[in-house]
Each structure stands twice: as C-alpha cells, then as structure tokens.
Amino acid sequence: MHDEMKREDVFEQMWARQAAALGAPAATLPAASGVRPIGRAGQRVFLAVRLLEVALGAAVLCVVLMALPAHLDAPRQLLVVAIVAVLVAWITAQCAVLFHRALRVDWSAPVVELQRAIERLRLAEYRAFKWALLGGVVLWLPLPVVLLDALTGGRLLERLDLGWLAANVFLGAALLGGLHRWSRRHVERAGRSGRAERLLDALSSRHVRRAAERIAELEQFAAEPPAATSRQE
Amino acid sequence: MQRHGGLLRRIAWAWSRDDADRDDVLQEIAVQLWRVRERIDPRLREASFVARVALNVAISFQRRERRHRVGRAAADVDHVADASPCAGERDDERARLRAAIDSLRDLDRALALLHLEGHDHAAIGEVLGISAANVATKWWRIKTRLREQLVAKSMEERRCTTR
C-alpha cells in the first residue's frame, strides 16, 4: 500500500517539478504576436458559410415555389416540381438548424456539455452535407430546368421526356453508389487535400461514425458510476 | 489572463504538439475568454470558469487541428525553454510526462490535469459538468492506469540499463 502511494506520488511530483517550466511565458510567447488566428477566423467563416447557404436555399425555394402554379394542370410536372421544392426546403432547413446551433455554442459551458454540443453540431453538419450530396443526385437536372422555367416563364419542363429525366436520376444514383464504394477504398489514404478529404469522409460516412462514437464516449464519461464501484479518495 | 497564466499555458501544453500549436491555443483561449467575460457564473470560482473555457477551447482545437498534423516534419516538436544544469534529466522526465498525458483520452486528461493543478473534486465536477463522486471514481481509474504505465516504463528502462 505504501509502495503504491509512493508510485502514485511520482506522477504528481513529476508534474510539480515540470509545472513551472510548462507554465513559463518564455516557452510560448515569442511568436504569439504574429500567429494566424485560425480559430477566430474559422468560427466566423463557418457561420458566414451557413448563413449564405440558408439565404441561397431560401432564394431557390422561393423561385421553385413561383414555378409551382404554372404546372398545376399537369400532374407529372407538378410531381417533379413538388419533389424539387421538398428537397430544397429540407436541405435549407438543415442549414438553418446548423446556423442556429452554431450561434448558440457557449464556450463557458461545462466541458462535457460543450463538447457534446459541438459533436452534435458536427453530426448535423455532416448529415446536411450528405443530404445535399444525395439530393444533388435527384436535383442536378430538374432543378435548373424548374429554375429556368420560373425565371423565364418558359415551359421547358413540358418539352422534357419524363423517362429521360428519370434515366438521368438513375445515372446520378449509380454514380453515387460507385463513388461511395470508391471512397470506402480510399478513405484511409493520407496526404489528401481538405476538400477531397471532406468529400471522401462524407461519401464513406466515416466522419458521421466518428462523431457518433465521440458522442457515445461523452455520454459514457458523464454517466454516473454504479454505487458499488464508486470509490472516494 | 495574468492571474491564471500558468494554468492556461499548462492546458495549452497538454493539448498541443509544438510551440506553434501552443501559441494558437493560447490565442484562441484569450479570444474566447474575452468573448464570454460577461457570462461569468457568480457561483463558479474564477479559476474554474477560466479552466472551463480553456479546456473547451483546447479540446476543440486539438480535434479540429488533428488532421493537419499528419505529415508534419519531425523536427517541429514540443519545446520548453530550460537552461538549468539538469536540463537533460528534466527533458527525459518531461518526455515521460508527455507520453503519460498523451495516453489519456481528452476528458480523462482534463480531469487529471485539473487534479494535478490542485482543484478539489467538487471544483473539477463544476468544470467538467459531472458529479464529485464521478470525478473521484474516474480519478482513481486514471491514477491506476498512469501508475501501471509508469511502472512498465521504469521496468523497461531498468532492463535496458542492465543489458
């Protein structure tokens, strides 16, 4: 028992001996005045990008809704416009939720609480990105057509063969499936650029898994220990 | 910042790999402390409030920056100024301390660091957002793990010197 206590003290003594050096200004301050403010800029950029996404999504949604009355007489076209409207509304809503959550991050909250909030924010971001990718497969052709119809007052959607439209959606879906398989194979490769990494992680769902694991880890940390195993010093 | 400078630098040290990282963490901590200065909880001790913000920033910074560390040059390492005659021994000890701290997960590391800084279980609970009983249990487990690690390391070193 005495030996154990002595060993335990070793770590505390090591810390006590090193603490002064580790807390010395000379160790850290020489470059402090010239460093790049990564975090500050990062947070503002994150909020600005989310706000831009919400504004853009809302604008596109308004234009799509403008096109809706023109297709009321043709159920097939109406279906296409309605699907486009629902997907744009869904993605815009996710971006709005993300922006709202990012605004509410409180750095003075207890560590477990804030880390949980940040991981949930990350999870929401990854899911929004994933849905935007998945939605892109469905929207990549109908959306420009619907927007063009709404903005020019033309009837381009009428002239498009719905079979051809569906074939393009299937092509997009097949492409996404292929990309998913490819991303699973290459996701662990090092030395990728930031954008490639983001795309690969989103397609392979790796960062969704990571964030979910991290939230589970936080829950486990915050969970009260069973009374029988709880030990007081 | 001046009153808690030592604590802030030690937190920055524990969550960074090199001087540049440490400067960034410290700068980010200063920015966030300035932003939340109005929201200071009167029930909390000043040191606990500062530790909360600093740990939140340091943990988030490390997670955000982790991917950029892949492929970083080996020469770009942790450096602490030490001009004492026993600088070599201290460097070894610091390396062991670094290894022990790096082996802990973020929240365990935060708990251990607060304990080593002399915070009691109730104060640590306030900072982390868990109960004092939970802190006691977790500290006991962390201590056990660190102790095993240090013993294994010293046995390994002894084996090397006897060869």
Instruction: Kindly indicate the confidence band of residue B81, based on its pLDDT and cuts at 50, 70 and 90.
Output: low
Same domain, B2 and B65: yes
Q: With contact defined as beta carbons under 8 Å apart, do A221 and B107 qualify?
A: yes
- Please identify among residues 96-155 of chain A the ones whose CB lies closer than 8 Å to any CB of chain B: 106-115, 118
Instruction: Kindly indicate the confidence band of residue A26, based on its pLDDT and cuts at 50, 70 and 90.
Output: very low
Instruction: Kindly indicate the confidence band of residue A41, based on its pLDDT and cuts at 50, 70 and 90.
Output: low
Among candidate residues B22, B41, B73, the one where a domain is terminated: B73
Helix (H, G, I), strand (E, B) or coil at B137: helix
Same domain, B162 and B120: yes
Question: Within 10 Å of residue A109's Cβ, how many Cβ atoms?
Answer: 19
Same domain, B95 and B138: yes
Mutate to test the interface with A, among B17, B21, B107 (most CBs of A within 10 A): B107
From the CA of A168, how many Å to the nearest CA of chain B?
36
Same domain, B68 and B93: no
Q: What pLDDT is stored for residue A76 in this prediction?
A: 78
User: Residue B68 belongs to a domain with what CATH number?
Assistant: 1.10.1740
Residue B100 lies in a domain: yes
Residue B106 lies in a domain: yes
Same domain, B69 and B91: no
Report residue A150 as tokens: 């709404």
A95/B148 Cα distance (integer angstroms)? 47
Residue B50 lies in a domain: yes
Mutate to test the interface with A, among B2, B32, B38, B80 (most CBs of A within 10 A): B80
pTM (predicted TM-score) = 0.73
A37 and B100: CB-CB below 8 Å? Answer: no
Across residues A61-79, what is the average pLDDT? Answer: 83
- Per-residue three-class SS string for B21-83: HHHHHHHHHHHHHHHCHHHCCCCCCHHHHHHHHHHHHHHHHHHHHHHHHCCCCCCCCCCCCCC
Same domain, B67 and B97: no
Domain extent for B149: 87-163
Same domain, B37 and B7: yes
Among candidate residues B25, B45, B73, the one where a domain is terminated: B73
Same domain, B26 and B68: yes
Mention every residue, 6+ apart, whose C-beta is less than 8 A from residue A148: A154, A156
Among candidate residues B39, B73, B107, the one where a domain is terminated: B73
Residue B61 lies in a domain: yes
Same domain, B9 and B63: yes
Mention every residue, 6+ apart, whose C-beta is less than 8 A from residue B143: A8, A11
Residue B80 lies in a domain: no
pLDDT of A46-63, one tens digit each?
889 889 999 999 999 999
Q: What pLDDT is stored for residue B89 in this prediction?
A: 65
Using a CB-CB cut-off of 8 Å, the residues of chain B touching A118 are: 60
**For chain A, what is the mean pLDDT?**
76
If one compares A195 and A39, the residue with the highest pLDDT of the two is A195
Same domain, B54 and B115: no
For residue A38, pLDDT over 60 is answered with: no
pLDDT of A93-106, one tens digit each?
999 998 998 888 88
If one compares B29 and A20, the residue with the highest pLDDT of the two is B29
In the block, which residue shows the tokens 């029988």? Answer: A228
Using a CB-CB cut-off of 8 Å, the residues of chain B touching A107 are: 32, 35-36, 53, 56-57
Q: What pLDDT is stored for residue A27 in this prediction?
A: 41
Same domain, B23 and B56: yes
- Is A191 within 8 Å of chain B by CB? yes
Q: With contact defined as beta carbons under 8 Å apart, do A202 and A99 qualify?
A: no
Q: What pLDDT is stored for residue A6 in this prediction?
A: 53
A229 and B53: CB-CB below 8 Å? Answer: no
Using a CB-CB cut-off of 8 Å, the residues of chain A touching B59 are: 111, 115
Residue B149 lies in a domain: yes
In the block, which residue shows the tokens 């402090």? Answer: A32
Residue B78 lies in a domain: no
- Is A42 within 8 Å of chain B by CB? yes
Across residues A206-212, what is the average pLDDT? Answer: 79
**For chain B, what is the mean pLDDT?**
80
Using a CB-CB cut-off of 8 Å, the residues of chain B touching A37 are: 27-28, 31
A191 and B31: CB-CB below 8 Å? Answer: no
A31 and B143: CB-CB below 8 Å? Answer: no
For residue B97, pLDDT over 70 is answered with: yes
**Number of domains chain B contains:** 2
Same domain, B68 and B111: no
Instruction: Kindly indicate the confidence band of residue A29, based on its pLDDT and cuts at 50, 70 and 90.
Output: very low
Using a CB-CB cut-off of 8 Å, the residues of chain A touching B23 are: 28-29, 31-32, 35
pLDDT of B15-34, one tens digit each?
888 878 888 888 888 888 88
Instruction: Kindly indicate the confidence band of residue A1, based on its pLDDT and cuts at 50, 70 and 90.
Output: very low
DSSP single-letter state for residue A70: G
User: Residue B122 belongs to a domain with what CATH number?
Assistant: 1.10.10
